[in-house]
Structure 1
Amino acid sequence: MAWPWLGATLHVDEAQYWTWSRDLEWGYYSKPPAIAALIAASTTLFGDGEWGVKALTLALTALTALSLGGWVAAMSREARRGALAALLALASPLLLLLGFAATTDVPLLLMWTWAAWALWQALQRPASAWRWGLLGLAAGLGMLSKYTMLAFGPGALLAVALVRPMRARWPQVLRGGLLAAGIAALIVAPHIAWNVQAGWPTWRHTADITLQRSDEAATLGLLAFALGQLLLLGPMALALLTWQSSRTPLTERTPDGDDGRRRAARFALALSTPLLLLGLMQAARGGANVNWAAPALLGGLAWLALRAPLRARPVAVLLGAQVLLVAGLVHAPGAAAAAGQPWPRALDLWARMRGWDAVWANLGQQLPPDPAVVIGSSRAVLAHGQYHWRDRKVQWLAWDPARQARHHFAWRLGIDDQGLARHLRANGNRPVWLITDSPDAVRPLVANGMAQDKPAAVAHWVDAGGRRLTLWAWRLRTPLGDEP
């Protein structure tokens, strides 16, 4: 168990990414390949345990905060402001929470920060080809992390327009931008080629979830999304800005006579504005998660560091209070569970990460040590099953009777009624098990004689708050009337 004091193991997404890391490709059904490569490197170094899966993403989270500090220090020419930016990031709920998970947002945030830093540096010396090359490298790797990186392009154009380089430099900026775009395209090209060969699954999936609409969720979606961004940015950080800016106006000027920090603050916000607007538009349609515009918050943190006057005591007090608040929210569910007390599910950050190790271990005790074939009925069953039974020799298939291929396993390993019947006949007497978290999925198989009336094994797990996980396992058999 990765976080024993929290009672949590892996999220379903992390378990799925782990399965991807065992078979590296240039793309997957729902995401580009960077997260799989990152987890493959992490588990090679630290093993397949939960700590091993998360180790390098933890390191990248800290590196993102340090990189944000470097970017702000470069823009402001003040090391203290860079240190403030790094502290704001490390104390933000955004990074404190992402640091616990191996998700695609972790490499994306790092690449976004590097791209922003590289763009600023390139604009200072637009004739420097290597600075534009670094921008292209960061943008390309960001695209291989998550398609959200595409929103960096409009933000970069807006930021360049606001910075307004001298007229004589515009040709250099244009040539540098084309160089960066070319390098980014070369980095992403293998992923695009993979999508072409596979029928564009990643692009189609991304388009589907981006354009989806939920009228019920849209009612409060915009407000919830906006409040979520403020919470991820850090309520204490916002309090710091509000309280101090009223006392110390931003009047300092850089040696060259230009208000450099104001200009830099506008640059940081301009980079984030298009992505934040897209997130708000998507939230108004009822389809945006709170982390959808996570990179935009980096610009917000940079803006805060550039605008807030430097006073050590209020910074320490407010950010310290924020860290304690987030740490309390993180650890309270685990402490309540250890005390045998319920905790509100809405405030339990780890609710979906508990119990899977226990329920799979329980089920494994009831079934043969090496079941030949296991068919999972859902993405959660298949992702957690492959991870928690990683030491067992199992051939995994995905139960997808309607052939809709709504997740990676159904797309790669999907099997319908006819395919299942052929598979059962081909396997003869080898055991084939269907494991599900919803017994309703088995009723058609019981009706056509491919499954018995009752499951062969049932595993339960219940937490202190009454949340229950249950897995059912059916032994499948050749359809009635068919020859083995």
Structure 2
Amino acid sequence: MSTQPAVSTLTDPRSASDARVPRALLVAAALYAAAWSLVPPWVTAGFPLDVVESLTWGHEGEWGYYKHPPMAPWVLYVFYRVFGRAGPYLLSQVCIGFTLWLVWLTGRRLMTRERAWLGAALTMGTVFLTRPALEFNHNVAQLPLWAGIGWALLAALQDGRLRQWLLLGLLAGLCLLTKYSGALLLACLGVYVLATPQRRVLRTPGPWLAVLLAVAVLAPHLRWLWQHGGLPFAYVSSRAGADVGHPRADAWGFLGMQFINHVPLLLIVLWAVLPAWRQARRAKPVEAGVRAATRLHTDWPGYLLVLALAPGLLTALLGLAGIARVRDMWGVPMWTFSGLLAVACLPTAWLGVARPRLSRGLLVWLVLISVLSGAYLAFIAQWRQRPVRTDWPSAALAAHAQASWDGVSQCPLDVVAGEYHLAGTLAVALSPRQPSVLIHGDPRYSPWVTPARLQAGGALWIWTDDDASDVPPEPLNRVAAQADLRPHDGTWQVPWPREPAGRPFTVHWRAYVPAACARARGG
């Protein structure tokens, strides 16, 4: 049952002739995505921390992990196995591509088709959809889900079809299965429905079926949370207690960083509208021009404002109230509708003049950030005078590890223990026979590494001189003391890929080999 007539289309000049997205824009988008997918693995030797972490989680196929729900690691692991080292970067671009498409679909329901594709394109004017995409994580994974929820609810409110409500429930469940912060968007949209005439839809079965489907999608993870004592929430609580500073300072920092990440979009829009504003000022009184500039060119202004602004402002409010310690990067999916909001603010009379400059300004920004990001990956180690995580020689580490393990054990290498990024980098590089990672810290972080598994297959513990502890992580330390695991020690001196003649990367290792796996001398 429809709850509101289909949105009327505000008529812009040229809207009929420019309804289609230009083919040149689609070609440029494909080239952009290819560059951001293929150049990073070409100029780097290893993965950043978030990618390594999620790849080690995805390998285990659990319904939850000690920091986050499981959806992002699952999908990332599949992309890595299919596309190799380009997989994580390609997945980021796939997420961005689906996000832009869903923003465009949303825009078509809110405004003219021309404004819709301009708004979708201008979404790339926020920094969050460019540089952060080099490190796929749960924030990037949320992008298409936030955009999809915004579109699905709008479609359900406008058309009232049951399948649209069910799609909304599916997307909501998947969003929460990706990261809990998706609840902020759902809360904002729930308040919108309750506080507007749209609350009449609550008398229909659609919204309630959507809630039931979302809960059903999330149910296996909820069961995992119960079995593991709400581990992610305990982890967040422990981290919050160790953080320095005050939640209010974090909240102001969050707001400042969100503004900074919108600076390119603001500059593009200002550069595009200034000529149109000058032209309008000469043609009619300034007051009329100001009134035209403050009108939102959409039939659902309240809905667009909630989508574009409410989650970010609610996040900052939680921090200012001292309820939560907010992080800057939480804002990555919160601004997927900023481009639509910017275009909705443009008066119809200005659009014809501003449109070419909007396109050119966006093109300049994307070329600039692409060059800067590529240069960062290629030369950051030289600029900082020390290697970064993406410089870690993952392939060489894997070769050394495999040779050392094969020299003392006849069984496959099943577990790598140590500091997360070091052990994870090694484990991921050993794919397709990727071992599991026993994280150096709380044994609850690696429930897949059981004492029985260690007794049967042993483990390879690795560490560097910078590690804070020289004791192997539990339960390996306990099993090694109680079971018949034979230790073998050694050190690898691995050259850095960008500085082969410099000081090598020194990694210490100890292989714990069960008696049944021990290789005979000379074998």
TM-score grouping bracket, smaller chain normalisation: 0.7 to 0.9
Pairing of 1:256-275 with structure 2 (within 5 A): 261=297, 264-275=300-311
Structure-1 separation of matches of 2:186 and 2:414? 46
Amino acid corresponding to residue 157 of structure 1 in structure 2: G
Amino acid corresponding to residue 99 of structure 2 in structure 1: T
Select which of 451, 454, 462 maps to 1:435: 462
Structure-1 separation of matches of 2:360 and 2:266? 13
Displacement after TM superposition at 1:381 (Å): 2.2
Q: Residue 342 in 1 paired to residue 382 in 2?
A: yes
Structure-2 separation of matches of 1:171 and 1:373? 57
User: What does residue 388 of structure 1 align with?
Assistant: 429
**How many residues were matched structurally?**
442
User: What does residue 226 of structure 1 align with?
Assistant: 255
For 1:54-76, what per-residue CA distance to the aligned partner results, in whole angstroms no more than 9, with x for missing partners? 43442222111121111112111
26-35 or 91-100: which moved more? 91-100
Structure-1 separation of matches of 2:508 and 2:370? 36
Judging changes above 3 Å, is the alpha-carbon distance between structure 1 residues 269 and 52 closer, same or farther for their aligned structure 2 residues? same
For 1:235-294, what per-residue CA distance to the aligned partner results, in whole angstroms no more than 9, with x for missing partners? 2321244452892658679xxxxx773563432232354431343256667943322122
Structure-2 separation of matches of 1:16 and 1:116? 29
User: What does residue 266 of structure 2 align with?
Assistant: 238
Select which of 68, 72, 93 maps to 2:127: 93
Pairing of 1:131-150 with structure 2 (within 5 A): 131-150=164-183
Amino acid corresponding to residue 331 of structure 1 in structure 2: G
User: What does residue 329 of structure 1 align with?
Assistant: 372
Q: Residue 181 in 1 paired to residue 211 in 2?
A: yes
Select which of 280, 290, 299 maps to 2:328: 290
Runs of 4+ in 1 over 6 A off after TM superposition: 250-253, 448-454
Displacement after TM superposition at 1:442 (Å): 5.7
Amino acid corresponding to residue 384 of structure 1 in structure 2: T
SS of the residue corresponding to residue 65 of structure 2 reads coil
Structure-2 separation of matches of 1:184 and 1:155? 17
Pairing of 1:438-453 with structure 2 (within 5 A): 438=465, 443=470
User: What does residue 10 of structure 1 align with?
Assistant: 47
Structure-2 separation of matches of 1:171 and 1:187? 26
- Kept after mapping to 2: 8 A contact 1:39/1:54: no
List alignment gaps of at least 5 residues for structure 1.
254-258, 479-484
For 1:16-42, what per-residue CA distance to the aligned partner results, in whole angstroms no more than 9, with x for missing partners? 322333332322222222113313442
Structure-1 separation of matches of 2:201 and 2:434? 58
Select which of 69, 76, 79 maps to 2:113: 79
List alignment gaps of at least 5 residues for structure 2.
1-37, 281-288, 473-477, 515-523
Q: Residue 152 in 1 paired to residue 185 in 2?
A: yes
Amino acid corresponding to residue 271 of structure 1 in structure 2: L
For 1:320-359, what per-residue CA distance to the aligned partner results, in whole angstroms no more than 9, with x for missing partners? 222133113201224536xxx82258xx9x9332224155
- Kept after mapping to 2: 8 A contact 1:405/1:414: no
Judging changes above 3 Å, is the alpha-carbon distance between structure 1 residues 121 and 261 closer, same or farther for their aligned structure 2 residues? farther
Judging changes above 3 Å, is the alpha-carbon distance between structure 1 residues 334 and 13 closer, same or farther for their aligned structure 2 residues? closer
- Kept after mapping to 1: 8 A contact 2:176/2:183: yes
User: What does residue 143 of structure 2 align with?
Assistant: 109
For 1:382-407, what per-residue CA distance to the aligned partner results, in whole angstroms no more than 9, with x for missing partners? 2212101225685754444xxx347x
- Kept after mapping to 1: 8 A contact 2:44/2:391: yes
- Kept after mapping to 2: 8 A contact 1:88/1:319: yes
Structure-2 separation of matches of 1:433 and 1:22? 18
Structure-2 separation of matches of 1:398 and 1:136? 35
- Kept after mapping to 2: 8 A contact 1:159/1:270: yes
Q: Residue 123 in 1 paired to residue 163 in 2?
A: no
Select which of 21, 38, 60 maps to 2:95: 60
For 1:109-138, what per-residue CA distance to the aligned partner results, in whole angstroms no more than 9, with x for missing partners? 11111111111222224x432322222121
Q: Residue 304 in 1 paired to residue 337 in 2?
A: no
Structure-1 separation of matches of 2:186 and 2:436? 43
Q: Residue 195 in 1 paired to residue 225 in 2?
A: yes
Structure-2 separation of matches of 1:113 and 1:318? 24
Pairing of 1:324-473 with structure 2 (within 5 A): 324-336=367-379, 342-344=382-384, 351-357=388-394, 360-361=397-398, 363-364=400-401, 367-369=404-406, 372=413, 375-391=416-432, 397-400=438-441, 404-405=442-443, 408-409=445-446, 411-413=447-449, 433-438=460-465, 443=470, 455-459=490-494, 461=496, 470-473=506-509
- Kept after mapping to 2: 8 A contact 1:272/1:295: no
SS of the residue corresponding to residue 147 of structure 1 reads coil
Amino acid corresponding to residue 121 of structure 1 in structure 2: A
User: What does residue 482 of structure 1 align with?
Assistant: none
Structure-1 separation of matches of 2:488 and 2:150? 60
Displacement after TM superposition at 1:147 (Å): 0.8
- Kept after mapping to 2: 8 A contact 1:118/1:135: yes
SS of the residue corresponding to residue 261 of structure 1 reads coil
Query: What root-mean-square deviation, in Å, do the aligned CA atoms of Structure 1 and Structure 2 show?
Result: 4.1
- Kept after mapping to 2: 8 A contact 1:18/1:53: no
Displacement after TM superposition at 1:474 (Å): 3.3
Displacement after TM superposition at 1:154 (Å): 2.1
Judging changes above 3 Å, is the alpha-carbon distance between structure 1 residues 204 and 452 closer, same or farther for their aligned structure 2 residues? closer
Judging changes above 3 Å, is the alpha-carbon distance between structure 1 residues 412 and 272 closer, same or farther for their aligned structure 2 residues? farther
For 1:357-390, what per-residue CA distance to the aligned partner results, in whole angstroms no more than 9, with x for missing partners? 1551464376244755655221112221210122
TM-score normalised over the length of structure 1:
0.76
- Kept after mapping to 1: 8 A contact 2:393/2:495: no
Amino acid corresponding to residue 208 of structure 2 in structure 1: L
Judging changes above 3 Å, is the alpha-carbon distance between structure 1 residues 220 and 328 closer, same or farther for their aligned structure 2 residues? farther
Displacement after TM superposition at 1:88 (Å): 1.2
Q: Residue 205 in 1 paired to residue 235 in 2?
A: yes
- Kept after mapping to 1: 8 A contact 2:140/2:333: no
- Kept after mapping to 1: 8 A contact 2:152/2:168: yes
- Kept after mapping to 2: 8 A contact 1:154/1:274: no
Displacement after TM superposition at 1:15 (Å): 2.1
Structure-1 separation of matches of 2:247 and 2:393? 32
User: What does residue 172 of structure 1 align with?
Assistant: 201
